[in-house]
A and B are shown apart, each in its own frame.
Chain A
Amino acid sequence: MTDSARQTQVTAPSSEPSRLKTVWESDFGYAFRRSPVALVSCLVVLFLVLSAVMAPWIAPHDPFNPVTLNLMNGFTPPSTPNAFTGDSFWLGTDDQGRDVFSTILFGMRISLFVGFSAVLFAMILGVTLGLIAGYAGGWIETLIMRVADVQLTFPAILVAMLIFGIAKGFTPVEYRDQMAIWVLILAIGLSDWVQFARVVRGATLVEKNKEYVQAARLIGRSGGAIMLRHILPNVLSPVLVIATISLALAIIAEATLSFLGVGAPPTQPSLGTLIRIGQGFLFSGEWWILLFPSVTLLSLALSVNLLGDWLRDALNPRLR
């Protein structure tokens, strides 16, 4: 457990080639090299994340700048010159003449941003509460874990919709579109912290009775310091696995909310919003408006999920 935790920490991008090499030649790196699923999904994730980050530089059009749009380009099929303007678009255009490829790049940015931020938020919240519950015990533990249990009985998407609805009610109308992304992060994060809290509490219960924790307590370290400095590093590896799988779920949750029309506003379309827009043209033959954002969402969520699965197996000493 301790070993693997240390190893995962080193997988974070590091500028020192020698360290990277160490990881590459470790057990962990070996398992990675031997797994085609991990290799492919890691490449896909890297490719998608990079293209989303680079969107403003690689997108052929800026879909958010109305000046550049030409309505006559509307409904241009993929890689076919438009009958009126002669313009050609790799993945076609939607009803407003927006380039589908560019909207996907920008949409993915928002999907990923919401996904990462929501998981980060859920992770911080869940790990903190889980640590406190596991370490403090007593009524604090009961309170936190019963709240978690109650929340687990509701589907996450329902909780997210509820939080989103309440938060939207509190935001003034004129800020709603600007705040929508942050509200979305809050809603998905709050619906997702329970997994983290449960796992961290479980691991903390095991760790807090080990000798090194008792030793730290004996020399008089405070509870907070023990939790942060001693227990936390040793419970992190399952957290990393959950975070990866949660990322896939958060991206899907965001797309679901946006598809239902309660998520990202049309002015900041995420992949889910794009799918919702495309759905209106499903019966009329403009399949590319729906298909390409859907395929992007599918590959993104699937490869993150596969990566998470592999990570879980690789970090599980019993499966080695």
Chain B
Amino acid sequence: MLRLTLVSALVCALGTSAFGETFRWASTTDPQTMDPHAVNSAPVLGFLNNVYEGLVRRGKDMSVEPALATRWEPIDGGGWRFHLRQGVTFHDGSDFTAEDVLFSYLRASSEASDTASWFASVSEVVVVDDFTIDVITSSPNPIFPDSIANWMIMDSGWAAANGAELPAKDSENHATLNTNGTGAFMLTGRQPGLKTVLEPFGGWWGDAEHNITLAKFTPIQNPATAVAALLSGDVEMINPVPIQDAERLSQSPGVKVFQGIEARVIMLGFPHEAEVLKYADDAGMPNPFTDVRVREAVAKTVNVPAILRTIMRGNAEPASQLVSPAMRGYSVALAARPAHDVDGAKALLAEAGLADGFSFGLKCPNDRYLNDEAVCQAVVSMLAQIGLNAELDAMPVRNYWPELRNDNYDMYLLGWSPGTFDAEHPIRFLAATPDADKRLGSWNFGGFSNSRVDELLPMIQSEVDYAKRQAMLDESAKIIQDEHAYVPMYVQPLIWGARENIELTQRPDNFFILRWVTVN
């Protein structure tokens, strides 16, 4: 009897390996939640794009294409009408209707949500009939359909039945560990920090391009371990490949490397509102970063070419503004970043009355961006040359965002990739004066505030004329650059590695879309 069981178990094991295509992949960051409205960060949204869907989605070339809405048109007086796809079901079998869209709007735009600023221009959402819905905006918003590809639709009945009507940002609820979307894959196992299992959804409305029967995601924090796992065939794909290993890996047999430029700009952020420094040696030192000369001195001291040559090994481009040159609305005239000039920086500090320098605390993630901790260490040693002694505190990203939200920093590292691929996006999130009611500046941790930037933002959002819009974007970018609201350093490279038998598509927003994966 026991032998029979063993034999049948063996047959089963052989059977699955022969017919099914299991796909295992690894990344340094575990998506911290399975709730599509709780955290507006790329690891979460990128992962959940496989499980949930929005009204629109982005194709392989980042162009917007129909998803749960089949077509849309502007309506008079500002707003858009979306015609929804019929016959779509959620993973648990319930039907998708306009009610779910309305519910997902309320959920994603609520105060408990991290995604509320996506809907800053929306005044109301009106259900017309089961498969038509109107999004009313306070003024014409030409880029609205472009800006909601990551607004994912959740089943209203499921959320209500499980007490997950509102997203849980820093706590947990049913939707943190479970999902019910309409996407091509459904979540069948979730152990935070250990592994997450996805299976194809049989009732998906689209035509499957992939041939995966089971997909397993494992977070591997140590980059060298991830490379070893890829080389030994323990995983089929890793994201990212450590920069230092890209060249060697591309020459290894059985493995290939996908390389591109990501939309993400890595920058340093300042406390603009804080009265005193939190981590200065002499406690209670007035916050020197409110002085634009000090911020400019920092910008001049950070030797970006050196970072790019050594830590990034020539795989990244310098950045001068909050978006990369590949984004719509980039200001070509402002492409130069401050030259590396230690003497000039010292002179600026002296002018600000801080010739002796000061000490402060630099916060940094150590598992979020490529070589993030090494970049911060380099920044520390560069700033020391003008007498700014930074104490570096590097931590995993799950502790990092709460620290920033609690204002526990004197300077921090941030990477920003505009979800809309438009220069307006970082202004709305990073430069607009934080305002919970208007859903603005939700990632502007330091509280940078400039009345002209605030004034320009709604005008940019509703401007239909391309040239006028660009002129306003240029003006905003100029103010942000002159004020040194942030110190943009470089555009992060995008390097993935996969086994040779894997076909996949690398999207510039670093989202890994499972339905484009083929295992040969």
Q: Is B3 an interface residue (CB 8 A)?
A: no
Q: Which of B240-277 contact A (CB under 8 A)?
A: 242, 244-245, 247-249
Say which residue of B247, B311, B381 sits within 8 Å of A66 (CB atoms).
Answer: B381
| A280 pairs with B223, CB closer than 8 A | yes
Which of B227, B306, B392 has a CB less than 8 Å from the CB of A71?
B306
Inter-subunit contact B378/A96 (CB<8 Å): yes
Known: A71-B303, A71-B378, A95-B311. A284 touches B385 (CB 8 A): no
Is there contact, CB below 8 Å, between B307 and A71?
yes
* Main SS class of interface, B: helix
Decide if A319 is an interface residue (CB 8 Å cutoff). Answer: no
Q: Is B60 an interface residue (CB 8 A)?
A: no
- For the complex, is B127 an interface residue (Cβ under 8 Å from A)? no
Distance A71 CA – B380 CA, assembled complex (angstroms): 11
CA A70 to CA B245, docked complex, whole Å: 23
CA distance A71 to B310 in the complex (A): 7
CB contacts (< 8 Å) of B309 on chain A: these are 72, 74, 84
Is A281 interfacial (CB-CB < 8 Å)?
A: yes
Contact (Cβ within 8 A) A283 B249: yes
Smallest CB separation, B143 vs chain A (Å): 39
Shortest B346–chain A CB gap in Å is: 13
Assess the A71–B381 pair: CB atoms within 8 A. yes
Known contacts A72-B310, A74-B310, A96-B377; is-contact A281 B244 (Cβ 8 Å)? yes
Q: Say whether A285 faces chain B, with CB atoms less than 8 Å apart.
A: yes
Return the CB mask of A235-261 against B: 1 if under 8 Å, else 0.
Answer: 000000000000000000000000000
**Beta-carbon contact of B384 and A284 below 8 Å:** no
Q: Whose C-beta in chain A lies nearest to the C-beta of B385?
A: A67
Q: Is A284 a contact partner of B248 (Cβ separation < 8 A)?
A: yes
CB-CB contacts below 8 Å: B309-324 with A: 309-311
CB-defined interface of B412-437 with A at 8 Å, one 1/0 digit per residue?
00000000000000000000000000
Provide the residues of chain A in CB contact with B392, threshold 8 Å: 267
Q: Is the pair A279, B381 in contact by a Cβ cutoff of 8 Å?
A: no
**Complex CA–CA separation, A279 to B223 (angstroms):** 10
Of residues 48 to 84 in A, which have CB atoms within 8 Å of B's CB atoms?
A: 65-67, 69-72, 74-75, 84
| Most chain A beta-carbon contacts within 10 A, residue among B227, B228, B303, B374 | B374
- Within 8 Å CB of B389, what residues of A? 66
A99 within 8 A of B: no
Closest chain A residue, CB of each to CB of B380: A66
Q: How far is the CA of A70 from the CA of B307 in the complex (A)?
A: 11
A72-B310, A74-B310, A284-B244 known; A96 vs B227 contact (CB < 8 Å): no
**Is B472's beta carbon under 8 Å from chain A?**
no
Asked whether A285 and B248 contact (CB < 8 A) given A67-B384, A67-B385, the answer is: yes
CB < 8 Å: which of A65, A96, A285 contacts B374?
A96
- For window 257-294 of chain A, which residues contact chain B by CB distance below 8 Å? 266-267, 279-286
Residue from the list B247, B248, B310, B385 in contact with A95, Cβ < 8 A: B310
Interface string of B366-393 (1 = CB under 8 A from A): 0000000010011011101100010010
Beta-carbon nearest neighbor of A83 in chain B: B309
Nearest chain B CB to A94 CB, angstrom units: 10
A65→B223 CA distance, assembly (Å): 28
- A280 and B244: CB pair below 8 A? yes
Shortest Cβ gap from B256 to chain A (Å): 15
Contacting pair A280 B242 (CB below 8 A)? yes
Instruction: Give complex CA distance A74, B308 in Å.
Output: 11
- Across-interface contacts of B75 in A (CB, < 8 A): none
- Least CB distance, B9 to chain A, in whole angstroms: 34
**Which residues of A pack against B, CB within 8 Å?**
65-67, 69-72, 74-75, 84, 95-97, 266-267, 279-286
User: Can you add 4 more A-B contacts, CB < 8 Å, to A283-B249, A284-B244?
Assistant: A66-B380, A84-B309, A96-B374, A96-B377
Which 4 pairs between the two chains have the least Cβ-Cβ distance? A74-B310, A66-B381, A284-B244, A66-B384
For this complex, 27 residue pairs linking A to B, each with C-beta atoms less than 8 Å apart, are: A66-B380, A66-B381, A66-B385, A66-B389, A71-B307, A71-B382, A72-B303, A74-B306, A74-B309, A74-B310, A75-B310, A95-B311, A96-B374, A96-B377, A96-B381, A266-B377, A279-B224, A280-B242, A280-B244, A282-B224, A283-B224, A283-B244, A283-B249, A284-B242, A284-B248, A285-B248, A286-B244
